[in-house]
Amino acid sequence: MAILDILHFPDPRLRTEAKPIKQVTPKVQQLVDDMFETMYKAPGIGLAATQVNVHRQVIVIDTTEDKSNPLCFINPKITQLQGDTTYDEGCLSVPSIYETIHRAEKITVEALNREGETFTLEADGLLAICIQHEIDHLKGKLFVDYLSPLKRQRIAKRLDKQNRSKAA
Ligand code: NI
């Protein structure tokens, strides 16, 4: 397994739209395993392949504190959205920024698992929020896109500075 590098906003590669996985091969399973390792190490509760510069529709999530519910979604599609809720969201690609975002409260999602089998999951609470956040990544969308342009620009400037000082 390997720890993968996470792209940081405003990196334009985060805007790439991910392509579906045609077949869940050992290489895809390796990506899933590496993504779990990267997410747990960060630590985070969700990671999309887009964030590690792999533009395929793969996300991993574990919203538990003891790493007891690892979930992998390949080619995820939300088939139902219900209600609405807010949460102070963060993102491994937008470090140290937390903002209140509106999302659907309950969702139904269809995807393939790590074995390539189709499954359907109904989710609410933090898990539903996290799934919506990660699926956005696969579309090249970030939670800061829900904020005002001015606020987003300020965050971009701040992170750009951080990225530069890290690279230097
Ligand atoms: Ni994120």
d(CA 82, CA 104) in angstroms, rounded, equals 6
Residue-wise pLDDT tens digits, 137-164? 999 999 999 999 999 999 999 988 887 8
Q: Which residue, among 40, 33, 106, 108, has the nearest Cα to 72 in the 3D structure?
A: 33
Distances (CA, A) of 78 to 58, 60, 138, 147, 168: 14, 15, 13, 23, 41
- How confident is the model at residue 3, as a pLDDT? 97
Per-position DSSP letters for 36-62, written without gaps between them:
HHHHHHTT-SEEEGGGGT--BSEEEE-
Say what percent of the chain tops pLDDT 70.
Answer: 99
CA of 143 to the centre of ligand 1 (A): 7
CB 42 within 8 A of CB 60: no
Distance of CA 152 to the CA centre of its chain: 18
- What mean pLDDT value characterizes the chain? 96
CA of 135 to the centre of ligand 1 (A): 9
- How confident is the model at residue 166, as a pLDDT? 76
d(CA 67, CA 154) in angstroms, rounded, equals 34
134 is catalytic: yes
- How confident is the model at residue 161, as a pLDDT? 86
CA of 117 to the centre of ligand 1 (A): 25
pLDDT of residue 21 exceeding 70:
yes
pLDDT of residue 103 exceeding 70:
yes
Q: How many CB atoms lie within 10 A of CB 75?
A: 19
CA of 62 to the centre of ligand 1 (A): 13
CA of 138 to the centre of ligand 1 (A): 10
